[in-house]
Structure 1
Amino acid sequence: MIWEVFRQNQAGDYHTHCGNVHAPDREMALLFAEVQHGRRKPTNSLWVVPQDEIGEVDTEDAKFGGTTNKSYRFARTYNVEPAAEEVEASEKELNEAERKRGEA
């Protein structure tokens, strides 16, 4: 049986595929993965998964991102000029109020 091995360098990193091992059961697969893939580089953890248990969804099977218009999520779709003018006017108002407080 073929087992796929995923390795994590440091805690918090993503696990990345580093190869596979041939083993009759999970216990042997874990041992072989540790020997073959855990000793060569600094390793925080290993994931060992039966190859036939790994599924894939690709672009032919699903439409990633959907068909809904979600352009509102990206800043490039907004008109920032009115907001910038409002911020500028607010800053002028604040500076004028501070100046008047200083004169009083």
Structure 2
Amino acid sequence: MIWEVFRQERPGEYHAHCGNVHAPDRELARQFAAIQHGRRKPTNSLWVVPRDEIGEIDAEDVAFGGTTDKSYRWATTYSTAGADASEVAESEDDQADAEQRRGES
């Protein structure tokens, strides 16, 4: 049976896949994982999981995505021509004035 091994280097970090071990039961898989993957680098903990228990979702199963254009998060993306954007224009003017004053000193 194949067991996948995930390693955490320091407390609080994510576990990352570091390889697998072949073992007939959970206890031997844990021992093999500790020997093969836990002693090579600093290790805080190991997760040892049967490969059959790991589920996969790929692009054929579901459409991943969403918008990759996140420019809507920035005020500078919006047009300052409208009356609704007057605060943005004032803020940009204030920033330009501050940069100019910094350059003069």
Q: TM-score, length-normalised on structure 2? A: 0.68
Q: Which structure has the bigger radius of gyration?
A: 1
In the alignment, structure 1 residue 32 sits paired with structure 2 residue 32: yes
Q: Which residue does the alignment assign to 2:98?
A: none
Tell me the distance in 2 between the aligned counterparts of 1:74 and 1:26: 49
Deviation at 1:85, TM superposition (A): 2.9
Q: Which residue does the alignment assign to 2:89?
A: 85
Q: How many residues align?
A: 88
Aligned residue runs from structure 1 range 25-104, under 5 A? 25-65=25-65, 74-75=72-73, 78-79=77-78, 81=80, 82=85, 83-87=87-91
SS in 2 for 1:40: coil
% of aligned pairs identical? 60
Q: Could you tell me which runs of 5 or more consecutive residues in structure 2 were left unpaired when the two chains were aligned.
A: 95-105
Q: Tell which deviates more after alignment, 32-41 or 57-66.
A: 57-66
Deviation at 1:63, TM superposition (A): 0.7
Q: Which residue does the alignment assign to 1:17?
A: 17
Q: CA RMSD in A?
A: 2.7
- Structure 1 segments, 4+ long, off by >4 Å, are 69-73, 86-89
Tell me the distance in 1 between the aligned counterparts of 2:73 and 2:7: 36
Amino acid at match of 2:8: Q
In the alignment, structure 1 residue 4 sits paired with structure 2 residue 4: yes
Tell me the distance in 2 between the aligned counterparts of 1:88 and 1:73: 17
